[in-house]
Amino acid sequence: MVTIKSKKEIEYMKEACKVVAILYQELEKIIRPGMSTFELDQEAEKIIRKLGAIPAEKGYPSGFKGVPNFPASICVSINDEVIHGIPSKNKIIKDGDIVSIDTVALKNGFNGDAARTFMIGNVSKEAKRLVEVTKQAFFEGIKYAKPGNRIGDICHAIGKYVHLQGYSVVREFQGHGIRKRYA
């Protein structure tokens, strides 16, 4: 069910999203070869909290019996890991890696949610192209984010662009919404 947000709720959503945007600006300054994804997670949590928000992924229920809640503030996936990688002291970022970070910041009861990919050091031509195509796919989708269109229109535009570039999408992880967080 889609709910229409009030102007105040939209402002709260913008504030939560701004936290995530600032987080990525700050992480870009510190992410480097030799850093563990655990260290990156620790820094991300400090930044989120300093900005008056809560790392909403930390402790998020897995939804599966016997599977623990998510243990970190960010998801970190390196190179060919699809999404939702768990930070670890043993996962070290290397020169040439592409590192995708996905996070959610909770502020004023609303979630700001985004993912961003960083190219670390001397990235291969192939990896650069993948990141560039992915970035442009985002902008191709945004063209369809307007009144009267549906989420499916955005996803279709992204998928079409990606396929024309010789890549594919993982359909099971193709987009989702955000809403007010209830305790």
pLDDT tens for residues 5-62? 899 999 999 999 999 999 999 999 999 999 999 999 999 999 999 999 999 999 888 7
> Cα 148–181–137 angle (5° rounding)?
45
Q: What are the E-state strand segments in 30-165?
A: 54-55, 74-78, 98-107, 110-119
Residue of 2, 4, 106 whose CA lies nearest to 58: 106
17-31, 61-75, 111-125: range with lowest mean pLDDT: 61-75
Who's near 157: CB < 8 A, 6+ residues apart? 140, 141, 143, 144
- Please determine, for residue 100, whether its predicted confidence score (pLDDT) is greater than 80: yes
Structure tokens given for 71? 């243990």
Domains and CATH numbers, the chain: 1-122 (3.90.230.10), 124-183 (no CATH)
Average pLDDT, the chain: 92
Buried b (16+ CB within 10 A) or exposed e, 89-108: eebebeeebbbbbbbbbbbe
CA pair distance 158, 144, nearest whole angstrom? 10
Angstrom CA distances, 175 to 27, 67, 115, 133, 140, stand at 23, 24, 11, 17, 14
